Amino acid sequence: MDREQEEMQFLGLFGIYVESYKIILSWRRIFSQITLALILPLSFIFLAHIEVSELIFSKIIHNEIQLDETPPVDTYRQNKLSDLISSEWASLWIFKFVYFTFLLVFSLLSTSAVVYTIASVYTARDVTFRRVLSVVPKVWKRLMVTFLCAFFAFFTYNIIAAVVLVFWLFTAGPSRPGLAILIVILVLYSAGFVYMTIVWQLASVVSVLEDLYGLKAMAKSKDLIRGKTWIAVVIFFKLNLSLVFIQILFENFVVSGYQTPFGILGRFGFGMICFLLLSKLFLFGLVIQTVFYFVCKSYHHENIDKSSLSDHLEVYLGDYVPLKAKDVQLEQFDV
């Protein structure tokens, strides 16, 4: 990272993108290794989930159509199709559970590796892929605690939203004023959901670089975002719109394959393009997330002592030593 921390507070959206690109380009070897070991499997899991889910769900739809067309007198065929549909639904839910488990594991591992690497770059410390791999499993535990807190926060938020929706249904209902109220509720819900997601993403960086995790990391993230909220929102939408674009491309040209030229060869080519684009997007998003953390720290004049950060990023006797709050949140520096 070429910039001093005092300068980073002045980085806007474009500056954050440029700084992230420079970091990846300057340290492309280790980021390539992280991509091969963690981000490529993450991308494969994400795309394979789309393909397999579509395959299982299409079978369920086909069998339900067959069941509807079966004469009522043919009870044997009806029972057989009903059992088959139940089995396929069970397979789909089991697959979803396995998918989300692996997605979570590789997502947290990738976050740990990228954040630790950029922190090492920031402190001008030599960083190797082997060292990253030795630290990542221990940092991953802290990220898991933060994720669980975020999960319960989202769960509670959705429960409250469901209660509000039921209250709307029994009071206003689908009348003209009621629809206007519903639009307001949906807008507020979406804004809250986006904000909570941004807080959780930055809290993941806080969990790696500071002696905070769980609810404390979420609270710290909320404080850091203040003043940079709109930049965070724009980054969030740009990254997620790019993700949606890749997903649509994959579904139309690989999963369905109706519009794909050159048959199977074309589907394989488009699949590889989506796979590589998704890997680049995941890596770029994680780097942006970490750079944004340093921008927020600089904006709030919270100096990070490089020597203290460097010392605590070391692995002592095989144990990861987390940063103490006093090491990260030192004195306020003057601009």
What is the distance between the alpha carbons of residues 293 and 298, in angstroms, rounded to a whole number?
9
Average pLDDT on 113-140 reads: 82
Q: Is residue 186 part of a domain?
A: yes
pLDDT band at 310 (very low <50, low <70, confident <90, very high): low
For residue 302, list its beta bridge partners.
332
pLDDT at 13 over 70: yes
- Average pLDDT in the chain: 84
pLDDT at 7 over 80: no
Which residue range forms the structural domain that includes residue 191? 11-319
Residue 231 is predicted with a pLDDT of: 92
pLDDT at 45 over 80: yes
Higher pLDDT, 18 or 77: 18
Q: Is residue 331 part of a domain?
A: no
Average pLDDT on 96-114 reads: 92
What is the distance between the alpha carbons of residues 286 and 283, in angstroms, rounded to a whole number?
5
Task: Collapse the DSSP code of 302 into the 3-class scheme (helix H, G, I; strand E, B; otherwise coil) and give the result.
Answer: strand
Q: Is residue 256 part of a domain?
A: yes
User: How many angstroms from the chain centroid is the CA of residue 106?
Assistant: 10
Nearest to 222 by CA among 194, 200, 191: 200
Q: Which residue is listed with tokens 């509670």?
A: 156
The model's pTM is 0.85
pLDDT band at 75 (very low <50, low <70, confident <90, very high): confident
Q: Is residue 210 part of a domain?
A: yes
Do residues 329 and 241 lie in contact, with contact meaning Cβ atoms separated by under 8 Å?
no
What is the distance between the alpha carbons of residues 311 and 321, in angstroms, rounded to a whole number?
9
Task: Please count the structural domains in the chain.
Answer: 1
Q: Is residue 326 part of a domain?
A: no
User: Amino acid letter at 86?
Assistant: S
Q: Is residue 295 part of a domain?
A: yes
- High-pLDDT (> 70) share of the chain, %: 86
Nearest to 218 by CA among 161, 158, 152: 152
Do residues 27 and 66 lie in contact, with contact meaning Cβ atoms separated by under 8 Å?
no
Residue 332 is predicted with a pLDDT of: 47
Q: Is residue 325 part of a domain?
A: no
Residue 2 is predicted with a pLDDT of: 54
Q: Is residue 253 part of a domain?
A: yes
Nearest to 286 by CA among 20, 6, 7: 20
pLDDT at 210 over 90: no
Query: Max CA-CA distance within the chain?
Result: 84
User: How many angstroms from the chain centroid is the CA of residue 216?
Assistant: 20
Task: Compute the half-sphere exposure of residue 78: CA atoms within 13 Å on the CB side of its CA.
Answer: 8
